[in-house]
Amino acid sequence: MSRKLRFGILGAGRIGPVHAETLAYRAPQAECVVIADINLAAAEAVAARYSIPNVVDSATAVIDDPGIDAIVLCTPTNTHAGIIAHAAQAGKHIFCEKPVSQSLAEIDASIAAVEAAGVKMQVGFNRRFDSNFMRVRKAVESGEIGTPNLFHIVSRDPFPPPLSYLRPSGGIFLDMMIHDFDMARFLMGEVEEVFASGAVLVDPGFAAEDDFDTAIAMLKFASGAIGTIDNSRKSTFGYDQRVEILGSKGKIATENRYSNEVVVSGEKCVYTDLPHNFFMQRYPESFALELQMFVEAVLEDKPVPVTGADSRAPVVMALAARKSVDERRPVRLAEISS
């Protein structure tokens, strides 16, 4: 394909504009030619900001357009499976925000539709493309820290989402910790068992939605290593994103990122400014790189870096975590079939 890869973005909410910016300024082999959202005003605002020539209020109009090569799917999760099936049948390559679905059956059907159509689908687990986490993975793969034995992820949001967001989100394990489940597998290999606990400590409204705002999961890996993940919906000092792995020959750790590296030293304390406030500030490079690599995979007919199977595994882990909380016991992933 000698011309630019022509994209349509479906969804102009929180993440759609992030991908629109990448296609406008950071992906020279691609261009966004249309954006769709049922909220036409939101789509028009994104189109104006990033010079997208066409705005529609229907995903169908984008998918059925023969001039579109690929879609970026940023609509609510419960719409993904149907859109993927339609797009695959129409011969469109698909970049889909996580998760493909909260249902394993729908994920499997989506993967099957993509494979049957012979198109590519990449799922947006952007943290895999963060330079810090890639360096951690390199240390593990190369044996730089020996055999990994102990793993820990800290992932905390600066403020809780509105309660209306929780209802379709699937809860803290499917919506928030799913990124950490994917990162655990990316850095350490396959997980065999999850033992989780959840609590409502930030906003009492979470309890009414049968959800948690604070959660911990203990993981047992196929390698024999063990790990923990802790999540909170409220971190008063900003977006808290850290990883540490202890190996037989040493450890590797990555800390939060900051808007500057200034250290202020005074008579009573030494301090820095707060870390980045949320994911848009913390992960811009990783969002750009994941989409750039998808473009490259399509144009050069290479495997995508995050497959449908990759996206399925953290959903299984999330479902196991919720089952663990409900039944107050460790849950093996082999127990999760739907």
DSSP string, 303-338: --SS-HHHHHHHHHHHHHHHHHHHHTS-EEGGG---
Confirm if 157 and 301 have CB atoms less than 8 A apart.
no
Mean residue pLDDT of the chain comes to: 95
On whether residue 293 sits in a domain, the answer given is no
Contacts of 304 (CB under 8 A, 6+ apart): 120, 121, 122, 293, 294, 297
Which residues, at least 6 apart from 328, have a Cβ–Cβ distance to it below 8 Å? none
- CATH number of the domain that residue 269 is part of: 3.30.360.10
d(CA 128, CA 277): 20
* 180 falls within a domain: yes
> Do 189 and 326 have their domain in common?
yes
Residues 77 and 223 in one domain: no
Residue 306 within a domain:
no
Q: What pLDDT, on the 0 to 100 scale, is given for residue 237?
A: 93
Is residue 299 included in any domain, yes or no?
A: no
Do 154 and 259 lie in one domain? The reply is yes
* Residue 233 counted as domain residue: yes
pLDDT in tens, 98-137: 999 999 999 999 999 999 999 999 999 999 999 999 999 9
- List of the chain residues with pLDDT < 70: 1-2
**pLDDT value at residue 2:** 53
Cβ-Cβ contacts under 8 Å for 162 (sequence gap 6 or more):
none
Count of structural domains, the chain: 2
Instruction: State the pLDDT at residue 57.
Output: 95
What is the residue-wise DSSP string for 112-128?
HHHHHHT--EEEE-GGG
- Measured in whole angstroms, the distance separating CA 86 from the mean position of its chain's CA atoms is 23
pTM of the model: 0.94
The residue written with tokens 């409204």 in the block is: 205
Per-residue pLDDT at 232 = 98
Same domain, 204 and 90: no
Whether residue 138 sits in one domain with residue 114: no
Whether residues 108 and 135 fall in one domain: no
Same domain assignment for residues 329 and 197: yes
pLDDT of residue 280: 73
For residue 77, the domain's CATH number is 3.40.50.720
pLDDT (0 to 100) of residue 83: 98
pLDDT at 1: 46
Q: Where in the sequence is the domain holding 138, given as residue range(s)?
A: 128-282+314-335
Asked if 325 and 200 sit in the same domain, the reply is yes
